[in-house]
Amino acid sequence: MKVLRKALAKAGQEVETPTDRSAEDDRGEDGLIRVGGQDFILQVVTFPIDEIIWGALARGEAELSGDRARALELLRETLRHKNRRMASSERSSVILVIDGRNVSSLFSRELVTAYLKKYGAPEKEFGFAQIWLIGPTVWTTIRLDGPDAGTSV
């Protein structure tokens, strides 16, 4: 969450922590954030969402290789996974954080450009307020949606 806050601030957004309530984990709220005076729920999903990959990793057997097409598939499945688990009426108040700290080398402007070219604007399809690809640092963090898509800060 710290990296997202720094990225938002670096992008010129006013970022605060709401003090009137706390995130409710049992409601799927991973955090709360106030951006530009508006409150949002933070939802974090680990990238990639592929359970086979993570099972192999847990056994010390993971090997992930592929091209940009495979990275696009993994990103698309991550978005679809989160989309299926949330009512459409809730998504407009959610900033989706796709946590790719373990595979941040996959996150790039080129990946975002390729995603937008192949699938179109994810905010229109899925309805999340914002979608961020989060790496281990602000410099490896890229926005996937909106007019600033592909912008790393």
For 17-38, the pLDDT digits (tens) are 988 888 887 777 889 999 999 9
Q: Is 52 a residue whose pLDDT tops 70?
A: no
Reported confidence tier of residue 100, pLDDT bands at 50, 70, 90: confident
Q: Is 89 exposed, middle or buried (0-12, 13-18, 19+ CB in 10 A)?
A: exposed
Residue-level pLDDT at 79:
95
Residue 97: domain span = 2-143
Q: Is 98 a residue whose pLDDT tops 80?
A: yes
pTM: 0.86
Q: 148 in a domain, yes or no?
A: no
Minimal CA–CA distance to 48: which of 96, 104, 124, 112?
104
Q: Is 151 a residue whose pLDDT tops 60?
A: yes
Q: 128 in a domain, yes or no?
A: yes
Running DSSP on this structure, what letter comes out for residue 12? T
Contact call for residues 98 and 106 (beta carbons, < 8 A): no
Q: 32 in a domain, yes or no?
A: yes
Compute the C-alpha angle 30/33/36, nearest 5°.
Answer: 155
Q: Which residues contact 11 (CB under 8 A, 6 or more apart)?
A: 143, 148, 151, 153
Q: What total of structural domains would you count in the chain?
A: 1
Per-residue pLDDT, averaged over 69-89, amounts to 91
Cα dihedral: 74, 4, 120, 94 (round 10): 100
Mean pLDDT of the chain: 86
Residue-level pLDDT at 33:
95
Q: Is 73 a residue whose pLDDT tops 60?
A: yes
Residue-level pLDDT at 53:
61
Reported confidence tier of residue 44, pLDDT bands at 50, 70, 90: very high
Q: Is 59 a residue whose pLDDT tops 90?
A: no
Q: 149 in a domain, yes or no?
A: no
Amino acid residing at 103: V
Beta bridge partners of 153: none
Q: 116 in a domain, yes or no?
A: yes
Residue-level pLDDT at 58:
64
Q: 152 in a domain, yes or no?
A: no
